[in-house]
Amino acid sequence: MGRRSFSLVTAAVIGLAASQASAADLPRKAPAYVPPAPPPITWTGCYIGANVGGVFARRSADFGSIGSLDSDTNSGFAGGGQIGCDYQFAGGWVFGIRNMFDGSNLSRGRTITFADGTAGTVNLKNDWFDTLTGRIGYSFTPAWLWYFQGGAAWAKNSADVTIAGFDAGSASRTRTGWTVGGGIEWMFAPHWSAFLEGNYMDFGSTNRNLVSPVGTVCEFGCGFNTKTTATTVLVGVNYRFNLGKAPY
């Protein structure tokens, strides 16, 4: 190889090495950012919330052989709050427990004519109801939950009776019964859910006694029995303190 050829080869090798060194010194483009996958939605955790809706009640009063009052269904307002906890297991199954307390403005006054022709009025009221229920549900998509619930129910009921224009007496007590119901809940934002549900409550029968003024039908005392059932349709919202992973 001649001196000229050797010089050309040497220059090419040096140029190639210099270009590779320059390329190594150039800043490299950072890889594109790929955000991590969001954690799966979970219903496990506790919550607190509020609700509002309507309550529909049917109440009756039976004075035995001297008369009775079959009350038609009447409606009113219901609203209050709830607190509870849920646990998700075996995929989409959810078990929970909840306490809900609601006030209501249910009131119904009716006129009754006793067997001897004496006229009277009966006013039945419901001030509040409280339910403690267990529920079982299934999350058919991550953010939607169908559920069924049942348990114990309490209500503050009162009955005021007037006979021939005289206040014959009143009775007010907290009654214990049972409830069943169901609904659907939607996790619409991190830690927030909304629900729509319906419930039936039965408070059974309660025996009371009243004495009216002399010369009226119950001057020697009358026993009477009242029976109350109620249905609620409620919408509500919950704030969830999820355990472990966030809901989204």
Please measure the distance between the N-terminal and C-terminal CA atoms of the chain and give it in whole angstroms. Answer: 73
For residue 173, the SS3 value is strand
**The pLDDT value given to residue 247:** 43
Contact 203, 153 (CB under 8 A): yes
pTM for the structure as a whole? 0.74
**The pLDDT value given to residue 112:** 72
Residue 4, domain member (yes or no): no
For residue 25, the SS3 value is helix
For residue 38, the SS3 value is coil
Residue 32, domain member (yes or no): no
**The pLDDT value given to residue 159:** 73
Residue 30, domain member (yes or no): no
**The pLDDT value given to residue 193:** 96
Q: Which two tokens stand for residue 247?
A: 């809901």
Contact 234, 56 (CB under 8 A): no
Q: Where are the alpha helices (DSSP H) in the chain?
A: 3-25
- Tally the domains of the chain: 1
Residue 195, domain member (yes or no): yes
**The pLDDT value given to residue 65:** 57
CATH number at 92 reads 2.40.160.20
- Quote the CA–CA distance of 95 and 86 in Å, as a whole number: 6
Residue 21, domain member (yes or no): no
Residue 25, domain member (yes or no): no
Residue 248, domain member (yes or no): no
Residue 20, domain member (yes or no): no
Enclosing domain of residue 50: 42-242
For residue 5, the SS3 value is helix
Q: Give the residue ranges of the chain where pLDDT is below 50.
A: 23, 244, 246-248
Q: Which two tokens stand for residue 118?
A: 């004496």
